[in-house]
Structures are given as structure tokens and as C-alpha cells.
Structure 1
Amino acid sequence: MLLELAAASGVAQVQQSDRATLIAQANAARAAQDFKRAIAILEPARTANPNDVEILRLLGTSYAFDRRYDDAIATLIRARDLAPDDLDVRAALARAYLWSGRRGEAQVELAAIKARDPGNADAALLHRQLESPAPGKEAGDAPVRRRGAAMWSEVSGVTLASGASRTWWTIGGSAYTQIGARTSISGEVEREARQSRVDTHLQARIDQQFSPHLRGYLAVGGTPDADFREKWSVRGGVEVDVVKGVTLLADARHADYGSVAITAFEPGARVTVASIRTAVTVHMINLWDERDTHRTGWSGRIDSEVGRGILLFAGAATYPDTEAGITRRMRSVFGGVAVPVSRATTLRLTVDHDDRVNSYRRTGGTLGLQIRF
């Protein structure tokens, strides 16, 4: 019996020695930025030690640096389940979620870290990255995508107030790029065809993050030879985080239709509940129309991430809407889904319905594709 105990102890010592050697080799490969070699070392170590939290953490983060995000997340979830109070594991999992674009789930892990250690340094860094609409590369981070493009097409069935039926088509595209750690610019073109009338609208926009809790934008647009859209417009807005999960919004717009002009101001708020990966946004809409009459309305929207980066969204609004220099009451509802089809590509489908009082009713569907480079 003593001999058996001694043999078991010897085996354990050898296994512990082998484990320490493998971890040292993996750390050396990681320090040299050779994450594929680190993975090759750590995968057999995981097989031999399936419940070793340190090996799982090192393997998961190596997967993340190698952009194998699904493998990273699965491995780090296993480590978290084994050691739910290990904040290094939770921080690694939050980063893997963030780098893969699953920001809602990253928020959940961040909240868990803050609940256990409010002054955690990793939590402060993760908070800054999550609050940034397009975060730059921090020390030790995986590369982020700083450019992107989108395209969309919509077809709508329309019934005019006269009872006549029409089909309207819209196609558009946009592109953005970061020009600094906190600044991005974008451009957009959209062509809307309403039978014989066609408007092509152009827009340029700049977004700026002034601090971790304050962001703003400015946009200018125009429609050459406009029929129903504005000839030119300028708009801007700010977002400020006031407390955890609550952001105040303010947008202002001025549009000129040639013979008339309108001005709008839209204060609002967004409430984010990280634990259920859901955000609710509401706006009050104030518009001074072509007769300088003050009209009001509202809009509301809910966005919820249901897992694996899939986003569901829906909303409704009633507001004063101006077309061809004439303002009427618009009632709208919409809903849709955004599905990541790869690490850099998202497919979006939206269905919406508008009822413009004494003008038309429209039901449409939009298919869009967003690509990040």
C-alpha cells in the first residue's frame, strides 16, 4: 500500500512538472505573439487537464488573439463555470465577446466583475472600450475593424389617399472609416424612386467621442433637383452617459425644401439593461413646420441581443413628417433582425409600415448587408 501511495505521488509530481513546463512554453509563445504555437501547446494540456482553469484561460485567450472567437468563448465559458469568482477569466471572456462583436454579453461579464471588485483595473479598461462606438486599439488588444461599408435595398407597396396603388424602390450604400482614435467619418448615398419621381440624397457625417461618457456627431446632406426630399439639411446631436445604463440624447435638424424650411429638436434617452442584453430608446419630437407651427410627436425603439450576436429590434412612432415642403402626421411601426453571417459581415432584414395622414399608406421590406474591414 505504501508503495502504491508513493507511486501515485510520483506520478502527480511528474504531471505537475509537465504542466508547469507546458504553461511556461505557452507563455513564451504568447510573449512572442506566436498564438498558433501557444494553442498547439495548450490544446494537449487541456486534454490532459480538462478542469484546469489556468490552462483553459490561457488557451481561451490564445484563441481570441488568433481570432478564433467561437473557440475562445466556449473555452472561457468552461473556465468561468469552473471558477465563477476568477475575475481574470471573466475579463478574458468579456474581451472575447467584445472582439467578436457580442457587446451585450461583454456587458454582462463586465457587470459581474464590477459587482465583485468595483475598482478592478480590467473593468475600467473594458468599460472604456464598451462605451466607445468604435474603440481604437488598446495595449494588448486584438486588432479591431476601423472601416466598414453597408448597402441596402427596399421595396414598398403604397396605397395613395386617392386609392391608387404604387410600388416604390429605394437602394443605398454607405461607408465609414476612423481617422483617429476617437473620430470617424462616413458618407451615404440613397436613391428613392417613386414612379416617375426620383430623388438621390447625399450625406456626409463626422462622429466624435469627446470623453468616455460624451459623444457627438454633425451631418450635412443634400438632394440635387429634389422632388420630395429636402434640397439641403444639417443635423447634429450629442449623447451623454449620466449614470450606469442611462444615456441622455439630443438631436437637432434644419432642412430646406426650397419654398419652405423646417426645424426639429428631439430630446431623448436610452436605457440599457446589460443583464438581459436589451436597450430601450425613446425620443420626443418637436418640429416647427412650413407655417412655423410647433408640432410634436414621439418615437420608441427596443433592441435585444438574443445570443450569438443576433439582434432583434422593433419600434413605433407618431410624428410630424415633411415631404415636398408639406408636413403631415406620420404613424409608423417597424421590426427586424440583424444576423452576423461571419466575423465581419452582418445581414439585416427590416419590415415597416407607415401611415401618412391624408397622403399614403406604405408597407415595405428592406434587406441590408454590413461589412467591417
Structure 2
Amino acid sequence: MRRSRRAALAACLILAIAATPGAVLAQTVDELYASAVKARQARHFDEAVNLLRRALALKPDNADALVQLGFAELGRNDLAAARDAFSKALSLAPTYQDASFGLAEIEFRSGNLDAALPLAESVARAQPGNTDAAALVENIRKAMQAAGGEARKASVAAPRAKPRPDPVAGLMEQGRRLRTAGKLPEAEKVYRRALGLAPKNTDILVALGLIVGSSQRFDEAGHFFDRALAIKPGLLDARIGKIRLAIWQGDVPSARALVDDVLASSPDNVEALDLDAKVALLEADYTRAGQSFQRVLAIDPRNAEALVGIGDVRRAQGDDDAARQAYREALAIEPGSSDIEQRLAVPPPRKWRLDLGTEVSDLTNGLSDWTDSSAGLAYRLSPRTTISGRTRVATRFGRTDVQIEGRIDEAFSPAFSAYALAAATPDADFLARYSIGAGASLQVMAAAKAFGPLSLNIDTRYDNFTNTNVTSVSPWVQGYIFDGRLGLSARWVHAADDIGTRADGYVLRVDLAMAQRFNLFGGYADAPEISDGTLVPTRTVFGGISWDVNDPLTLRASIAHEQRPTFDRSIFGLGLTARF
């Protein structure tokens, strides 16, 4: 009983500690509003918009925040967004003169002088001391006079002309809708038309960068972001766009440096925190990823993207039930989201893997066939740790050995993993009486465009035979090209026994993804083979095919031909892997 109470108390303390950072970092609506006003007055319009949208996420009916958002959008020359903000403010507070002034400014900038004048005059009458309203009335009247008396007469006699919409704002809204609908080529065309009308509009440049970047035209995307930053140095949206670009390219170190730089100046930016969490996921730093997603939720409790991220963290940690709960909460906020539904449709992870294989060797010079069969079972303890066992039954020249092996694999990070194994053969005739081995793999280059990933690997093994001991070391390199469809590897093999005999060789191999479910491999080896404790020089040509029948089942077939000093050997193999 005491133990259970202590465990419960410890759990409560852990939960309390974990919950503290989010509460401390959360900002009130008033704090966000005050910071946004300062940012707008300093002409930091992007920052102001971000802060005001966060405030409105907490209190959507805040008319003051809507008016400030309208003026911030005016500062960014996004007339459509500004009109929407002012209109919402007036729907909440119909006599809000600042909102009417904002609409008058929009009509004036759009060239709709007849619509702008009564709005501005209304504000000037209601607020006689408002010098901005008086100046706007004067500017509108001057513009109308400049348009010519005949035009004004025609406007009185003829039906009132429909206000001319802002073409750039209209194109941007059209592009946004197309992009949201997933119609990226169409959205790109619309945004390029808008850019032709407003070549220095940073919102258009950032939008184009995101579109072409998601289409994997990374160099072009970077050019758009750089153009935006050249116009507005430090532009937050462009800096965040470059973080996304680094993630798309698989350049995790660059993404980490960029997101840390953004958070240094904008520690509570929701989008930057979300990207920080996603980079941490790529780094397999699940603690940091979870904390960043929780900070997003502390600021915006209905942020579906953060809930999806928490689900991804839980799934990466092997807790599929908790992941699905987070996905369902996100789906309640964004019903019908295909992205969330796809995550929920993913079947629970298969933690078990069964490997079966058998080989039959045909020997020349009238020698009897060899057979070699194995059965292995692996269990994934966690996303990082897998344990496995294997039994091997080999027959040579009428003698049979049974070998039992245990192995553990550990992924210390997405780039580095290692393994260790031990094997024993009771009453061994030709296999090693016992063996120990270890190896490691380091990914030195992530997949990028047509090349990668590239990894450096090493395998080591010590075999104890009845009459001798053999130590082997085998470093090798493996790389992929053509988007991972073609894999190339080269291995050096060094073996030595305890009486000073040494042998060296190499193995070359090619792997080719012929189709989505079919893979071919082939290669050549000129390397020593350990046979009954003896280092035998061997030349081998080999090849094979694997077929992913479905997600849980893979079938394999292979063939090889060896040339040895005393005989040749042809090997035919079949195998399968089942996951459950």
C-alpha cells in the first residue's frame, strides 16, 4: 500500500512539474494586445498580426483587437484581411469609429472615393478633434477634384459605380483558397500574377516560397524567402519559411539552428514553437518535442496541429493508444481533416517479426549437399530497442550443428545505432562453439534531393572453434541515389586466427527498387569465408529478389555461386519475413 501511495505521489509530482512551464509561459489577452500595439506602432506589422491573432484565438469577440488587427494588416497592405477585421469589429460594436475610419482608409486606397468620403466624414463629425480623420477627408476631396468635374457629374447622374476591388488582395485571397484546397499549381499561377502587380509584396513572396518548397523545388523556394528578407530584414514569416524548407530537405542541423534563432527573438511565437517541436521529433528528442507542443497548447488550447504533434510524439515513443487519443481530440477541432484521419487509419504497430530462411548448396566434385536453415523471432521493446533470438540448423558432410543466437539492437538517435550479439553451438562439429559480435551504423548524410542517405557501418565478431579462434572486422559504406531507389555498398573484410593467419577481401553489392513492392539485389565478393575454423579464400557472385506481398509479409529468393580452392558451390535460398 505504501509503495502504491508513493508511486501515485511521484506521478502527481511529475505531472505538476510537467504542467508548470506551459502555465508560466501563457500570456493573457491584455498582455498580447499591449505587445501587439507596441509592435504595430514600431511598424513591426508581421509581429503585430501574429500577436493579435493569438489574442483573438483566446477571445474572438475582442473588438479592440480586431481594430488593431485591421490597422496592422493595412500596414502590410493586405486590404482584404484588413477589411475583414474592421467589418467584424463593426458587427460587434457598430459605432466603433476607429473601425469606420479603417474602412474609409481601405476604400481610399482602393480608389473607391465615393465610398470613402461618407465614411471619413462620419468619423470626422463624430470625433471633431480627430486630426487623422480630418486629413483623410481632405485627401479624399483633393483626389476627387483631381479626377475632374466631369467625372464627378457623371458619378452623380449615373448609377453609383461598383467599388473597384483591390486586384492584389483579390489574387492573394484566391491563391490562399487554392492552396488550402491543395491545388498548388493553380495557386502558384495566381500568386505569380499578384507578384507581377506587387513585386515587393513580402506576403506574396513568402506564399510562393511555401508553395514551390512543398513541390520540392527547394532552390527556388529559398530564393523567394531571401527576396522577402532583402525587402524586410528579419521578416518573421520568411524566417519561418526557411525553417520549413530545411525540414523538407531533411537538413535537421540547419533547421535546428534556424528555429533556435527565431525563438531567441520570438520565444512565444506559436508557429516557431510548433516547428521547434517538429525538429525535435526528427532529432528523436521526444521530451523537447512534447514540451514545445504543450507550450503551443498553453497559448492556443484549440491548436489542432499541436495536438497532432503530441500524437506523433506518443506514437514515436511507442504509446499508440495515447497517440490515437490526441489525434481524436485534434479531429474534434478540425472535423474532416484528411491528415488527421490518415494518422488514425494507421494500424497499430507490429512489434513482432518472424524470419524464416533455408538454403541448399550443391557442391561439385561429387560432394554431398549442404543445408542451412534458420528461424528468428524479434520483438520491439520500444521504438529504439529491439531484442531478437535465432536458431540455426546447418548440415555439412553428414554432420549437423544447431546454433542459438541472441541479439539486441539500439537506436541511440535517428543517425546512430548499434547492436551486440552472442551465439553458442552445443557439441559443435564445424560451427563456432561460441561467438560474440557487435556493430554500429552512423548516418553521415541525410536524404536530400536525388542523393542520400549515406551511412558508415562496422561489424566485428569473435568466433571460438574447437581448434582455433577467429576474429573478423568488416567496415562498410552504404549510400543511395535516385530518391533511394538505387543502393550501393562496399565492404572490406579482414579476418585473422590465433596462429597468425590473416586474410582480407571485399564485397560489393547493389540494391534496386524495381517497383513499389519488388526489390532486386546483386553483387560480387572476393573475401575469406570461415569454414570449420579455417579461412577459405572464396569468390562469389550472388543475387536475389524480395517481394512485399503486403505490409506484414515479405518473400525472398536468392542464388549464389562460389568458387573455392577445392570445389565450387551453388546456393539456392528461400525465405520470408512476417510482422505481427
- Tell me how far apart the structure 2 counterparts of residues 293 and 166 of structure 1 sit (CA, whole Å): 28
Deviation at 1:84, TM superposition (A): 7.8
Cα RMSD (Å) of the superposition? 3.3
Match of 1:183 among 370, 385, 408: 385
Q: Conserved in 1, the CA contact under 8 Å of 2:393 and 2:401?
A: yes
- Tell me how far apart the structure 2 counterparts of residues 241 and 340 of structure 1 sit (CA, whole Å): 25
Match of 2:353 in 1: 148
Match of 1:65 in 2: none
Deviation at 1:301, TM superposition (A): 1.5
1:56-79 Cα shifts (integer Å, max 9, x gaps): 79xxxxxxxxxxxxxxxxxxxxxx
Q: Is 2:518 the partner of 1:313?
A: no
Q: Is 2:569 the partner of 1:362?
A: yes
Match of 2:456 in 1: 248
1:186-222 Cα shifts (integer Å, max 9, x gaps): 1111111224111112111000011121100001111
- Report the TM-score when normalising by structure 2: 0.42
Cα gap change, 1:303/1:128 in structure 2, threshold over 3 Å: closer, same or farther?
A: farther
Match of 2:417 in 1: 215
Cα gap change, 1:111/1:352 in structure 2, threshold over 3 Å: closer, same or farther?
A: farther
Q: How does 1:5-16 map to 2 (within 5 A)?
A: none
Match of 1:206 among 408, 411, 425: 408
- Report the TM-score when normalising by structure 1: 0.64
Q: Conserved in 2, the CA contact under 8 Å of 1:187 and 1:203?
A: yes
Q: Conserved in 2, the CA contact under 8 Å of 1:218 and 1:237?
A: yes
**Which letter maps to 2:248?**
I
Cα gap change, 1:271/1:86 in structure 2, threshold over 3 Å: closer, same or farther?
A: closer
Match of 1:114 among 249, 253, 258: 249
Q: Conserved in 1, the CA contact under 8 Å of 2:247 and 2:279?
A: no
Q: Conserved in 2, the CA contact under 8 Å of 1:290 and 1:326?
A: no
Q: Conserved in 2, the CA contact under 8 Å of 1:135 and 1:182?
A: no
Q: Find the residue that maps to 1:166 and give its secondary structure.
A: coil
Q: Is 2:545 the partner of 1:325?
A: no
Q: Find the residue that maps to 2:249 and give its secondary structure.
A: helix
- Tell me how far apart the structure 1 counterparts of residues 251 and 443 of structure 2 sit (CA, whole Å): 23
1:275-324 Cα shifts (integer Å, max 9, x gaps): 25222121111111242222211112121212222111112211122222
Q: Which structure 1 segments of 5+ residues have no match?
A: 1-51, 58-82, 91-109
Match of 1:170 in 2: 372
Q: Conserved in 2, the CA contact under 8 Å of 1:223 and 1:232?
A: yes
Deviation at 1:166, TM superposition (A): 1.9
Cα gap change, 1:127/1:357 in structure 2, threshold over 3 Å: closer, same or farther?
A: farther
Q: Conserved in 2, the CA contact under 8 Å of 1:114 and 1:123?
A: no
**Which letter maps to 1:256?**
N
**Which letter maps to 1:368?**
G
Q: Find the residue that maps to 2:395 and give its secondary structure.
A: strand
Q: Conserved in 2, the CA contact under 8 Å of 1:215 and 1:239?
A: yes
- Tell me how far apart the structure 1 counterparts of residues 508 and 392 of structure 2 sit (CA, whole Å): 24
**Which letter maps to 1:87?**
S
Q: Find the residue that maps to 2:376 and give its secondary structure.
A: strand
**Which letter maps to 1:332?**
T
Deviation at 1:175, TM superposition (A): 0.8
Q: Conserved in 1, the CA contact under 8 Å of 2:474 and 2:492?
A: yes
Q: Is 2:398 the partner of 1:193?
A: no
Q: Conserved in 2, the CA contact under 8 Å of 1:201 and 1:223?
A: yes
- Tell me how far apart the structure 2 counterparts of residues 112 and 243 of structure 1 sit (CA, whole Å): 14
Q: Is 2:214 the partner of 1:87?
A: yes
Q: Conserved in 2, the CA contact under 8 Å of 1:290 and 1:325?
A: no
- Tell me how far apart the structure 1 counterparts of residues 579 and 494 of structure 2 sit (CA, whole Å): 35
Match of 1:260 in 2: 468
Q: Conserved in 1, the CA contact under 8 Å of 2:517 and 2:549?
A: no
Q: Which structure 2 segments of 5+ residues have no match?
A: 1-177, 184-209, 218-244, 260-274, 285-314, 328-342, 447-452
- Tell me how far apart the structure 2 counterparts of residues 243 and 186 of structure 1 sit (CA, whole Å): 28
Q: Find the residue that maps to 2:412 and give its secondary structure.
A: strand
- Tell me how far apart the structure 2 counterparts of residues 136 and 309 of structure 1 sit (CA, whole Å): 28
Cα gap change, 1:265/1:115 in structure 2, threshold over 3 Å: closer, same or farther?
A: closer
Q: Is 2:488 the partner of 1:280?
A: yes
- Tell me how far apart the structure 2 counterparts of residues 352 and 269 of structure 1 sit (CA, whole Å): 22
Q: Conserved in 2, the CA contact under 8 Å of 1:266 and 1:286?
A: yes
Which of the two has greater helix per residue? 2
1:326-369 Cα shifts (integer Å, max 9, x gaps): 222011121111101122100001111122223x3111211111
For the pair shown, the structure with the greater C-alpha radius of gyration is 2
**Which letter maps to 1:225?**
D
Match of 2:162 in 1: none
Percent identity between matched residues is: 26
- Tell me how far apart the structure 2 counterparts of residues 339 and 216 of structure 1 sit (CA, whole Å): 27
Aligned residues: 271
Q: How does 1:41-80 map to 2 (within 5 A)?
A: none
Q: Conserved in 1, the CA contact under 8 Å of 2:503 and 2:535?
A: no
Q: Conserved in 2, the CA contact under 8 Å of 1:214 and 1:241?
A: yes
**Which letter maps to 1:241?**
Q
**Which letter maps to 1:257?**
F
Match of 2:559 in 1: 351
